[in-house]
Chain A
Amino acid sequence: MRTVHPMAWWGWAIGLAISASLTTNPALLGLLAAVIAIVVAAHHTNTVWGRSFKLYVWLGVLVIVMRVIFHLLIGLKYGDITLFWLPTVALPAWAAGIQIGGTVYLEGLLNAVLLGLRLAVLILAVGAANALANPKRLLRAFPRALHEIGTAVVVAISVAPQLAESVQRVMRARQLRGDAARGLKVLPKVAIPVLQDTLDRSLMLASAMESRGYGGHHGVARPRWVAVLTLGGLLLTAWGLFGLLNPEQATWWTGSGVLVAGVLASVIGLVGGGKSVRVSTYRPDRWGPIDALIVGCAVVTAVAMMWTRASDPASLTQPLQPLGWPEVGLPVLLGILVAAVPAAIPPAPKAKAP
């Protein structure tokens, strides 16, 4: 049994995030959240990032709570069913649209909760990708041209706990000199030993990396056209995205055509840049049928959502005026359930087969 490619989990999560962004239907959002939770429960590992999913759940809850608080304080309240009153503050005419306090109606409050829930599910999807895909393995799957950035990130991830440790150690040592001071006064007393320690360690690490051949690939110069192609491609991509997001102003020279050309140019640039980097990857993750299946499941979900949006847009929203029960269409329901299929893939064994 092999481990799942980290890109596959990100693809899956992006598919679900797109699906969630298309709906405010609480039944569908709840279902998406459940699917994400089930898959994470089946596949997460007992590592720092694996345990981080809980944090994202709390972040999601916080987002909903904040959304509700903002609605109560300054949101525009509307609806027919009155819940309770809050004291109001009269605002000048130019601040129309902001209403501090006032009567709170069920419909408006429900809408705030659902908008918060939609954002929370998006956050859950990102959190799931983070919990399922080892960020370091993800960096290894990046194109070789980004090798230096990858190394910097990996070093930063490894050094962070050491820094925390040395801060803790020095703080503790302060007490030995009878110094119980807190706040800004302690800063130089802690910062100076910690910085010296960090600097020493960085020099040792740099020297070790040099001795182990890091940077040996610099002997080959990177051709000029690589930089031009990569940068130009990125600019074209941005221009194309801009066109796509403003469909009213789209012409042939903005929009999808430019976007495709831009992406192509960047990819060629990255591949060309990678050629001059003479490093290799130890046991790289390979893209396999299971990875395709995982991404495919999320694509099915997203397609089902988009199809429903075209054919029956009302079923994707919560009816508010008049208030009613949300509907759930069969294609959308099935589409979301398909995204839970990766939960059935047997989880990777702890040690890879020898």
Chain B
Amino acid sequence: MSHAVEFERVSVAYGEDDAVLRDVTFSIDQGELALVVGRTGSGKSTLLGAINGVVPHFTGGRLEGRVTVSGLDTATHRPRELATVVGVVGQDPLAGFVTDTVEEELAYGMEQLGLPGDTMRRRVEEILDVLGIADLRDRPLRELSGGQQQRVAIGSVLTPHPSVLVLDEPTSALDPTGAEEVLATITRLVHDLGVTVIVAEHRIERVLQYADQVIHLDQGRVTVGSPAEVMVDSTVAPPVIELGRAFGWQPLPLNVRDAKRQARGLHLDARPASSPPNGDVALRATNLSVRYGALTAVDSVDLELQRGSVTALMGRNGSGKSSLLWALQGSGPRSRGAVTVDGLDPHDLPVAQRRGLVGLVPQTPGDLLYLPTVAQECTVSDTEAGVAPGTTRSLLDTLVPGVSDDSHPRDLSEGQRLALVLAIQLATSPQVLLLDEPTRGLDYTAKAALVRQLKRLTTTAVLLSTHDVEFVALVADRVAIMAQGEIVESGPTREVVVSSPAYAPQVAKILGHGYLSLAEATGD
């Protein structure tokens, strides 16, 4: 039987740079779910692009070796000719939509292939049912939630009936509920329809348990094998794997249930309920509301942030987290209520003084950068903040050492770019630092670095919004959970997340006794 996807000694290089993929050989059988893991910049996107020939036909670069999909060589078949064989969904589904309603989007690929009308009609109905989105058929794509958009994007590449489906980070940007919807869809496609699925994902803990095969990338080289084999010494590992490695469990557990079984032998003492640091209050918000027309985004929120503590703001997409952060900073709209930092309300201050009190790192940090080099960004930042020259640069060096002065901010990795914006915002040494979804696109190493960076800010009160429960377990002293614009629960991290079904980190689920992280369990 021929393989669904086959790479034979494949190397890819762009221009004069080092090869992104080196001598990669592997094959994926029909109906399997393969998970591609690796650090940021390890070549995951290039590997996925090579499957349908977008690399190198569309992106340029040089590909050596042979890639075949269902027996077709990508050297002689352009991506558009492979549309009936491979379906590809990119990182941002919205950026790949061509039309504007669900039904038209599902039909678009088939129209391009010139399929007859009755076939198109039948397949659209089938896919609507398979993905459970029949009630969305007339909805505009932009009004859908992230999980729904991702499912429509999957559906839109499935209508030409490809046998291989390639997904680049399908759940990274989604809240836990949206991620569940998408994962359920993916497993259904593999199990019921026999589609071969190749997924790249940073949030390995979400997908690992469903994978038949793991393709691990490290600086362009691959290791391929069953999840338990490959994860033993993978460069990226979710908490469940870290735990298994630390306690030497054999075989390595891949999901919480297996790990729990292995953890029965451990004898751990119950973790004392340590109280979070109790600094003085840096920011106090009372009765804060934000309204956009008839929509109430933030509803009478009271909030206190202590100096030297990190508070995590969690909740579904659209629960008002971003609106709250922007209102606290003072630059966003506010309908009612008051915010006090150092006896002043940032909303009433000119923008330049405002950031001296409260700094905010927005969801797309790149929005703040417009100069061609890191050095120039740092210089301008010093002038803007009115601090001694070199302040921003030295902040950046403490956050992530070794960022070259000449590099273009767009060429930095996600983690480096975030650190640059963080350094710019910290240049004024604000009393309060707000971060909107800082972990987007960060791998485990970059997240750990961010944790260290935030823990170092002992005189600043930090509030960050995120969906990432594992990150919260590592970084946050307190957690506040938002729903429908209100803060429905808040308190020390351990008290809030351990008992919650949606927000408990893997370590807490496996070990119990109130443990949040591996470091706590091993006593490091």
Task: Name A's B-contacting residues (CB within 8 A).
Answer: 136, 151, 154-155, 157-158, 161-162, 169-170, 172-180, 188-190, 192-193, 196-197, 200-201, 204-217, 278-284, 350-352
* A160 to B92 CA separation, bound complex (whole angstroms): 17
Contacts A173-B368, A178-B351 given; indicate if A207 touches B90 (C-beta within 8 A): yes
Contact of A280 among B111, B160, B354, B384 (CB under 8 A): B111
Q: Which residue of B lies closest to A172 (CB)?
A: B331
CB of A176 within 8 A of CB of B425, answer yes
CB of B116 within 8 A of CB of A179, answer no
Q: Tell me the minimal C-beta distance from B368 to chain A in angstroms.
A: 5
Q: Tell me the minimal C-beta distance from A216 to chain B in angstroms.
A: 5
Q: Which residue of A lies closest to B367 (CB)?
A: A173
- Chain B residues positioned under 8 Å from A217 (CB to CB): 112, 114
- Among A170, A175, A190, A283, max chain B CB count under 10 A is at A175
Contact of A211 among B54, B113, B329, B364 (CB under 8 A): B54
* A279 to B160 CA separation, bound complex (whole angstroms): 13
B67 within 8 A of A: no
CB of A204 within 8 A of CB of B98, answer no
- Chain A residues positioned under 8 Å from B355 (CB to CB): 176-178
- Chain B residues positioned under 8 Å from A174 (CB to CB): 368
A-B residue pairs in contact (CB < 8 Å), sample of 24: A154-B99, A161-B142, A173-B364, A176-B362, A177-B424, A178-B385, A179-B351, A179-B352, A180-B352, A193-B368, A196-B410, A205-B95, A211-B157, A212-B80, A213-B80, A214-B98, A216-B113, A217-B114, A279-B114, A280-B117, A282-B108, A282-B117, A283-B120, A350-B138
Contacts A176-B362, A205-B95, A210-B80 given; indicate if A283 touches B88 (C-beta within 8 A): no
Q: Tell me the minimal C-beta distance from B339 to chain A in angstroms.
A: 16
CB of A192 within 8 A of CB of B156, answer no
- Among A172, A177, A189, max chain B CB count under 10 A is at A177
CB of B352 within 8 A of CB of A213, answer no
* A283 to B106 CA separation, bound complex (whole angstroms): 12
* A205 to B3 CA separation, bound complex (whole angstroms): 29
- Chain B residues positioned under 8 Å from A282 (CB to CB): 103-104, 107-108, 110-111, 117, 120-121, 124
DSSP majority for the A interface?
Answer: helix
Within 8 A of A (CB), among B147-164: 156-157, 160
Binary interface encoding of chain B residues 355-375 relative to chain A, with 1 for a CB under 8 A from any of its CBs, else 0: 110011110101111100000
B100 within 8 A of A: yes
* A60 to B383 CA separation, bound complex (whole angstroms): 51
- Chain B residues positioned under 8 Å from A284 (CB to CB): 117
CB of B108 within 8 A of CB of A212, answer yes
CB of A196 within 8 A of CB of B366, answer yes
* A206 to B79 CA separation, bound complex (whole angstroms): 12
CB of B52 within 8 A of CB of A155, answer no
Q: Which residue of A lies closest to B107 (CB)?
A: A282
CB of B370 within 8 A of CB of A192, answer yes
CB of A175 within 8 A of CB of B54, answer no
Q: Tell me the minimal C-beta distance from A178 to chain B in angstroms.
A: 4
- Chain A residues positioned under 8 Å from B82 (CB to CB): 211
Q: Tell me the minimal C-beta distance from A92 to chain B in angstroms.
A: 55
* A165 to B84 CA separation, bound complex (whole angstroms): 34
CB of A216 within 8 A of CB of B95, answer no
CB of B79 within 8 A of CB of A173, answer no
* A209 to B83 CA separation, bound complex (whole angstroms): 10
Contacts A207-B54, A210-B79 given; indicate if A280 touches B410 (C-beta within 8 A): no
B416 within 8 A of A: no
B8 within 8 A of A: no
* A193 to B369 CA separation, bound complex (whole angstroms): 7
Task: Name B's A-contacting residues (CB within 8 A).
Answer: 52, 54, 57-59, 78-84, 86-88, 90, 92, 94-100, 103-104, 107-117, 120-121, 124, 137-138, 142, 156-157, 160, 326, 329, 331-332, 350-356, 359-362, 364, 366-370, 381, 384-385, 410, 424-425, 428
- Chain B residues positioned under 8 Å from A196 (CB to CB): 366, 410
CB of B117 within 8 A of CB of A175, answer no
* A136 to B78 CA separation, bound complex (whole angstroms): 29
Contact of B90 among A155, A208, A278, A352 (CB under 8 A): A208
The list of the 4 closest CB pairs from A to B, nearest first, reads A208-B96, A213-B83, A282-B107, A173-B367
* A206 to B98 CA separation, bound complex (whole angstroms): 9
**Total of A-B residue pairs, C-beta within 8 Å:** 172
- Chain A residues positioned under 8 Å from B79 (CB to CB): 210-211
- Among A190, A197, A213, A280, max chain B CB count under 10 A is at A213
Contacts A161-B142, A172-B331, A284-B117 given; indicate if A279 touches B96 (C-beta within 8 A): no
- Chain A residues positioned under 8 Å from B94 (CB to CB): 162
CB of A176 within 8 A of CB of B88, answer no
CB of B112 within 8 A of CB of A214, answer yes
CB of B109 within 8 A of CB of A210, answer no
- Chain B residues positioned under 8 Å from A172 (CB to CB): 326, 331-332, 362
* A345 to B140 CA separation, bound complex (whole angstroms): 26
CB of B97 within 8 A of CB of A158, answer yes
CB of A176 within 8 A of CB of B370, answer no
Q: Which residue of A lies closest to B134 (CB)?
A: A354
Q: Which residue of A lies closest to B330 (CB)?
A: A175
CB of A169 within 8 A of CB of B112, answer no
CB of B116 within 8 A of CB of A158, answer no
Q: Tell me the minimal C-beta distance from B355 to chain A in angstroms.
A: 5
Contacts A158-B98, A175-B331, A177-B424 given; indicate if A189 touches B370 (C-beta within 8 A): yes
**A208-B96, A282-B120 given. 15 additional CB < 8 A pairs?**
A136-B99, A172-B331, A172-B362, A173-B362, A177-B355, A177-B381, A196-B410, A204-B95, A208-B90, A209-B98, A213-B113, A214-B80, A217-B114, A282-B104, A282-B108
CB of B83 within 8 A of CB of A216, answer yes
Q: Which residue of B lies closest to A354 (CB)?
A: B125
Q: Which residue of A lies closest to B354 (CB)?
A: A178
Q: Tell me the minimal C-beta distance from A296 to chain B in angstroms.
A: 28
* A210 to B98 CA separation, bound complex (whole angstroms): 11
- Chain A residues positioned under 8 Å from B92 (CB to CB): 204
Contact of A208 among B98, B138, B364 (CB under 8 A): B98
* A161 to B141 CA separation, bound complex (whole angstroms): 12
CB of A176 within 8 A of CB of B95, answer no
* A213 to B85 CA separation, bound complex (whole angstroms): 11
* A173 to B368 CA separation, bound complex (whole angstroms): 6
- Chain B residues positioned under 8 Å from A170 (CB to CB): 367
- Chain B residues positioned under 8 Å from A197 (CB to CB): 364, 366
Q: Which residue of A lies closest to B81 (CB)?
A: A216
CB of A158 within 8 A of CB of B99, answer yes
Q: Which residue of A lies closest to B110 (CB)?
A: A282
Q: Which residue of A lies closest to B119 (CB)?
A: A280
Q: Tell me the minimal C-beta distance from B57 to chain A in angstroms.
A: 8
CB of A180 within 8 A of CB of B112, answer no
* A174 to B428 CA separation, bound complex (whole angstroms): 15
Q: Tell me the minimal C-beta distance from A206 to chain B in angstroms.
A: 8
Q: Tell me the minimal C-beta distance from A144 to chain B in angstroms.
A: 10
Contact of B156 among A161, A212, A215, A351 (CB under 8 A): A212
- Chain B residues positioned under 8 Å from A201 (CB to CB): 95
Q: Which residue of A lies closest to B140 (CB)?
A: A47
CB of B111 within 8 A of CB of A205, answer no
Contacts A204-B92, A208-B98, A217-B114 given; indicate if A176 touches B331 (C-beta within 8 A): yes
